[in-house]
Amino acid sequence: MEVIFKNVSFLYNRGMPNEKRALDNINMILNRNLIHGIIGPIGSGKSTMLELMNGITKPSEGEIIIGKYNLTNKKERFNFNKFRYDVGLVYQFPEKQFFCSTVGEEIAFAEKIFEPKNRNLKTKVIKVLKMVGLDESYLLRSPFNLNGGEKRRVAIASVLISNPKLLIMDEPTIGLDNNSKKRLMKLLINLKNKFGKTIIIVTHDVDMLYEIVDNIIVLNDGRIIKEGNKIEVFSDVELLDKNNTPVPSIIRFEKLVFNKTGIDLGYCAGINDLVRAVVKNVK
């Protein structure tokens, strides 16, 4: 699903002496079936932006349209229950919100509330377990006794069960070890390629982002200071540095090599590419 912001601003404590303009006239179109990254320093407005996409908080000014839902049309209320199915938000540390005694129940929870007569529930639960790379043997296990990466995947499965077209994630790799991170990245790429999902990720983990993302939005002080495909955005190291925004290690390394030797290693999609480019230039 496409996400459109038109002249969107958001003010905390509007009209009070401590009024804060957290988002300032944001205009953007996030196209469907792509992975979008939102980056920027702490306090730049990233979480506020996600909250507006979640449909509960309304912008102070402007218009937000997500797929067929206009979240800001005052005349015609959008169908929030349907919207909940189409847009899945994975909060930071989603596993902290576990409360069922088995993985199966945890994943089925939202479906049970919204569709109590659903007879295919077990089949559905197994299907999303497989989507996140876990199998049936997890159904009766306690979600509390899994490792960090498994917990995160169960939490994502509990969002995927409603089959959202748009998946929004706040810092999905935080606290994960390297292996779990790699699996999660594979999962996100699969969700995009095989299941046609649109994914929006807020993160400081630009090394992860560099490998999986299509487009990037850079926020600072509530404004979009750069947007475009990942190569365009991440190559602008000066701008990212100036705005206190992390730069992927691969790009940092390439710039260093270029500045010291004049050798342009070209576009490297990942560390293996980078090594190949270095070896080629050393020979």
Q: Which two tokens stand for residue 90?
A: 């994975």
CA 140, 82, 198, 93: dihedral to nearest 10 degrees?
-50
Which run of H or E residues covers position 259? helix 249-261
The residue of the chain with the least Cβ separation from Mg ion equals 47
Q: Could you tell which of Mg ion, ligand ADP, none binds residue 243, using a CB distance below 5 to 8 A set by kind?
A: none
- Least CB distance to ligand ADP at residue 218 (A): 11
CA nearest 92: which of 188, 159, 169, 198?
169
- Least CB distance to ligand ADP at residue 159 (A): 20
Q: Which is nearer to Mg ion, 46 or 165 (CB)?
A: 46
CA–CA dist 16, 158 (Å, integer)? 39
Question: φ, ψ for residue 25 (rounded to 5)?
Answer: 55, 60
Check residue 223 for interaction with ligand ADP (CB under 6 A).
no
Q: Which two tokens stand for residue 11?
A: 């003010």
Q: Which of 9, 43, 102, 105 binds ligand ADP (CB under 6 A)?
A: 43
Q: Which is nearer to ligand ADP, 110 or 225 (CB)?
A: 225
Quick one: which segment of 42-50, 136-144, 251-259, 264-272 binds ligand ADP (CB under 6 A)? Answer: 42-50
CA–CA dist 214, 232 (Å, integer)? 11
CB-based burial of residue 196 (10 Å sphere; 0-12 exposed, 13-18 middle, 19+ buried)? exposed
Q: Which is nearer to ligand ADP, 38 or 108 (CB)?
A: 38
Q: Could you tell which of ligand ADP, Mg ion, none binds residue 215, using a CB distance below 5 to 8 A set by kind?
A: none
Q: Which is nearer to ligand ADP, 61 or 273 (CB)?
A: 61
- Least CB distance to ligand ADP at residue 96 (A): 18
Q: How many residues does the chain have?
A: 283
Q: Which is nearer to Mg ion, 47 or 235 (CB)?
A: 47
CA–CA dist 121, 207 (Å, integer)? 37
Check residue 92 for interaction with Mg ion (CB under 5 A).
no
CB-based burial of residue 45 (10 Å sphere; 0-12 exposed, 13-18 middle, 19+ buried)? buried
Check residue 163 for interaction with Mg ion (CB under 5 A).
no
- Least CB distance to Mg ion at residue 32 (A): 24
Q: Could you tell which of ligand ADP, Mg ion, none binds residue 114, using a CB distance below 5 to 8 A set by kind?
A: none
Check residue 47 for interaction with Mg ion (CB under 5 A).
yes
Check residue 20 for interaction with ligand ADP (CB under 6 A).
yes
Q: Which two tokens stand for residue 115?
A: 């569709």
List residues binding ligand ADP (CB under 6 A).
12-13, 20, 22, 40, 42-48
